[in-house]
Structure 1
Amino acid sequence: MPGTQLYLEALSALSGCNVQLTSGNSQLTSQDFVNIVALREFYKQEGLTELEYPSLGTLSLQEIDDLDSKDMYSSPLALTAPERKPASATTVKINPADFFDPAYNYDFTNIKDGSAKFLRGDEPYVRPCGWNRVALRVIKKYEDGEKWLGTGKDAWPVSYHGHNMDGSLGIILTHQGDPEDQPSFLEAGASFLLSEETRGKGVYSTPEIKTAEKYCKTFKSKADGKTYKVVLQNRINPEKRVKCQRKDIWMVYIPDGSTEAQKRVIVQESIRPYGLLLKQA
């Protein structure tokens, strides 16, 4: 498996923070990281340039490469785009001992599942073949126990969070009407978007690792000079998720008018990370 320095670089690339090693307590939990990654995308949808996060203060959302200017209907992102870090990146201290859980690491690099089928929460689980999974320490971190992380009917389905997954109308439209009948189909979609329970934008993820890979974050490691792709592997609350017209995209709505605290709670109740996926580009 890759080393700790590479893990920290991957977390830096995902969060936009300067993640460093500490022997003390970690400033953030793995849940905080998925909150930050998801909310960064959501705030950019809103046209904002900063995100306030407890214990960290103000985080800049302004990416200086060109990747964030594209939506998910754009061409796949160039893996060779230059990597540049904001000079004002917030420093975050992480202790690997309380952030990672190496007992659950899994190397999918040379695994090919072929026609094999896997389930999580009675829904298909597309395993991240070709990737290294660095396990995050999530056992005994949630008050409702570990059923969400299991393989049974009560488990939450698996989703992947890439980068720049900020959506478009074509993604948000849910399964209503016949796509061939465009006027009524679009009208049904627009009506759904404007309904009371779904008014607002949200946080996107995908059950397909190949979709996440097309839009994942890449970074060049100072540890070994190689370029890597990085994706978060999560479980998503099936009661909070909306399946979009693009069947490989899931959305968690954040209603208009939600406070900053409410937005964090929505993400925390909906998406829980358990793996940091790395793959050499």
Structure 2
Amino acid sequence: MFIIQVGVYKTIDLIKTYMVGMSLRNELRGTRQNEHDRYKYILRGAREVHQANPNVLILLSGLTWGTDLSFLKMKSPESNFDNKLVYETHWYSFSGDSKIWELQPLNRVCAKATKWFNDQNGFLISNDNPFPLFLGEFGFDQRGEKQADNGFLTCLVAYVAERDLDWGLWALQGSYYHREGNIGAEETFGVLDFNWKHLRNPTFQRRFRLLQTMIQDPNSNLSKSYILYHLQSGQCVQVNSKNELHMRDFKKLTKWSYGGDGTPVRLMGSALCLKAVVLGFHQWFLMIA
């Protein structure tokens, strides 16, 4: 069990924290896990939490190390606890067969991984009766040395950005005093380096900056638009006053319209659209009328 804290602020002599949600039983696993007991005890715990504090969110995870909520297709919970119920899932390169990230083309593997995640968890936000879904844990080797993690991260960032999922990252810490019998063990998935002084991966902040914003506002009345997001750099395609394309941070987003496969990507508010051209081994995009 863990507690999510946000909104920490400091007064003259007091630090206050606010608990906004509680997760029940992290990563169910093992030979004794089963749907019947999961329903029985998780929902019993949820009722106790809701009765004790009806204002907090209740995060419920699935089976198999928190990666599988597919059983909810057959049986949904008895209550949404006054709209406080949130489902939580975890996703790593090793959630399934990690070897495929090294042996097959990235686009093909990403399509398979995305389908797997949708079948296991993503259906909750796309069916006729959607529920909130929180990607409560994902992570990758921050050193950038593992091909499987590098490919997985590109795929995951695309999925999270497209659906504007809220997420939690494993992990912040760069090392441990003591872990699994080892003193001074290093955490290669940690955002911080071994001494907790610097970022382990200098591109981390830039790459995740867009994912920390609200990309899709459910209360907005504006017309639907798209942005062009470069997954490796974390930057977006922008158009300047001369209608030239540049990669920039997303302080001022350029908006595009797109009708699906076979339709042009058009700059909103103009007659200009993108055209792909190949020069040598590189593909470039130009603005054309």
- Structure whose CA Rg is larger: 2
Relative to the length of structure 1, the TM-score reads 0.22
The alignment's TM-score, normalised by the length of structure 2, stands at 0.21
Higher relative contact order (CA 8 A, sep 6+): 1
